[in-house]
Amino acid sequence: MEDKENNLTSGVKEIARLANVSRGTVDRVIHNRAGVALKTRDKIEAIIKELNYQPNVLASRLALASRGTLRLAVLLPGISEETEYWKAPLEGITKAEGEIRQYGVHLDIYFFDQNLQSVFAEQIQRIIEARPDGVLITPTFEKESIILLKYCKKKKIPCVLMNSDIPDQERLCYIGPELFDSGYLSAQLVHYCLKDNQKVLIVNIAKEIESNAAIYRKEEGFMAYFREKLTEELVVPLNTTDTDYPAVATRLHSILERESQIGIIYVTNSRVALVAEWLESIGRSDILLIGYDYLEKNIEYLKKEVINFLICEKPQEQGYRGVMSLFQHLIFSSTVKEDYLIPIDIVTSANYRYYRN
């Protein structure tokens, strides 16, 4: 740490030498404090400009050198076969960490099981107890996330939300798709493909559906489109908190026996491969299938055109930008846009090879 502090303060020493003033005087100019004559201030600012120093950046680096390591807390689902999606955001987070480590920034990553709300709550408490300098979370469970957001507001800790947002809550920024519009876009796509006398099945597959903000917002957008353009009577809902294949297949088989007019299935998350496996097993290539996320299993079914459309939202970029937003705000005092909305992409068997997650 001593070497880093020496390197960071060497710029101030050089400015002081050229201006023939003390380092304290330079420091006051950099921090825009009073007590420096206008002529001296102008001279120091001219030297800073000539040497291509950026006062705000320099001041931030000096502050960091004096305080030690800057710690950022990251909270996201653990990665498993069922939650492969979260591998991409973690890769983006890791990439960002590698780029900013030289500034003394350290990331503490907390994982949770997105099927267990209690584990999410426990990790929220651990983050609060750790008192980080900044927080990046995916707010899978809204109630517990709001507890953390209120703590961050009270302690003036910048908090970035990733992948899904919580309306009317104060945070540094949100990075991810507009989930309502994602559902709305999916409904528009369904409308283009829906034939006369057909219905669409909207499928939510998650152990915690009611408290899952992402699923709720997508479904809300999807239904809004049908209310505006068509009719809700064309939509058949299916919610299942059993996420294993046999349970999902049983529920799908039962509903198709009752609703023979279903021509399109829309799955609100990355578990669309479960539905694809079932459709392939019963030979129903006549049913169009739409789901989410550029995952290995999903791509295999997309190539075979069992899945017809995948809605993708660049999760790696979300993770990368989440960390970098905190870094820019804390180290360089940069203004961060309140919302950085990720494009909502439609991937098919014709263009999947060119997509970058």
Contact between residue 172 and residue 325 where contact means Cβ atoms under 8 Å apart: yes
Contact between residue 292 and residue 222 where contact means Cβ atoms under 8 Å apart: no
Task: pLDDT band for 15, please (50, 70, 90 cuts).
Answer: confident
Q: Which of 79, 63, 32 is nearest to 295 (CA)?
A: 79
Q: Mind listing the pLDDT tens digit for each residue in 282-314?
A: 999 999 999 999 999 999 999 999 999 999 999
Torsion sign (Cα): 225, 231, 234, 240: positive
Q: Looking at residue 35, what is its pLDDT? A: 82
Given a cut of 80, whether residue 46 has pLDDT beyond it is yes
Structural domains in the chain, sorted by start = 2-66 (1.10.260.40), 69-177+315-343 (3.40.50.2300), 179-312 (3.40.50.2300)
Given a cut of 80, whether residue 322 has pLDDT beyond it is yes
Q: Mind listing the pLDDT tens digit for each residue in 160-170?
A: 999 999 988 99
Segment 230-252 mean pLDDT: 96
Q: Mind listing the pLDDT tens digit for each residue in 142-154?
A: 899 999 999 999 9
18-22, 87-91, 183-187: range with lowest mean pLDDT: 18-22
Contact between residue 237 and residue 222 where contact means Cβ atoms under 8 Å apart: no
Contact between residue 317 and residue 93 where contact means Cβ atoms under 8 Å apart: no
Given a cut of 70, whether residue 53 has pLDDT beyond it is no
Contact between residue 321 and residue 336 where contact means Cβ atoms under 8 Å apart: no
283 backbone φψ class: left, alpha, beta (φ>0; ψ -120 to 50): left
Angstrom distance (rounded) from CA 138 to CA 158: 14
98-112, 119-133, 282-296, 302-316: range with lowest mean pLDDT: 98-112
Q: Mind listing the pLDDT tens digit for each residue in 184-204?
A: 999 999 999 999 999 999 999
What stretch of H or E contains 170?
Answer: none
Task: pLDDT band for 55, please (50, 70, 90 cuts).
Answer: low
Q: Mind listing the pLDDT tens digit for each residue in 246-262?
A: 999 999 999 999 999 99
Segment 345-351 mean pLDDT: 97
Q: Looking at residue 34, what is its pLDDT? A: 78
Given a cut of 50, whether residue 7 has pLDDT beyond it is no
Contact between residue 45 and residue 19 where contact means Cβ atoms under 8 Å apart: no
Segment 337-342 mean pLDDT: 90
Segment 14-40 mean pLDDT: 83
Segment 14-30 mean pLDDT: 84
Given a cut of 70, whether residue 351 has pLDDT beyond it is yes
Contact between residue 40 and residue 21 where contact means Cβ atoms under 8 Å apart: yes
Supply the pTM of this predicted model: 0.78
Q: Looking at residue 74, what is its pLDDT? A: 98
Contact between residue 215 and residue 222 where contact means Cβ atoms under 8 Å apart: no
Given a cut of 80, whether residue 56 has pLDDT beyond it is no
Segment 212-230 mean pLDDT: 94
Q: Looking at residue 1, what is its pLDDT? A: 43
Given a cut of 70, whether residue 263 has pLDDT beyond it is yes
Q: For all residues of the chain together, what is the average pLDDT?
A: 89
Q: Which residues touch 271 (CB under 8 Å, ≥6 apart)?
A: 82, 205, 206, 243, 248, 291
Given a cut of 90, whether residue 102 has pLDDT beyond it is no
Given a cut of 60, whether residue 349 has pLDDT beyond it is yes
Contact between residue 67 and residue 106 where contact means Cβ atoms under 8 Å apart: no
Q: Which of 149, 258, 121, 123 is nearest to 201 (CA)?
A: 258
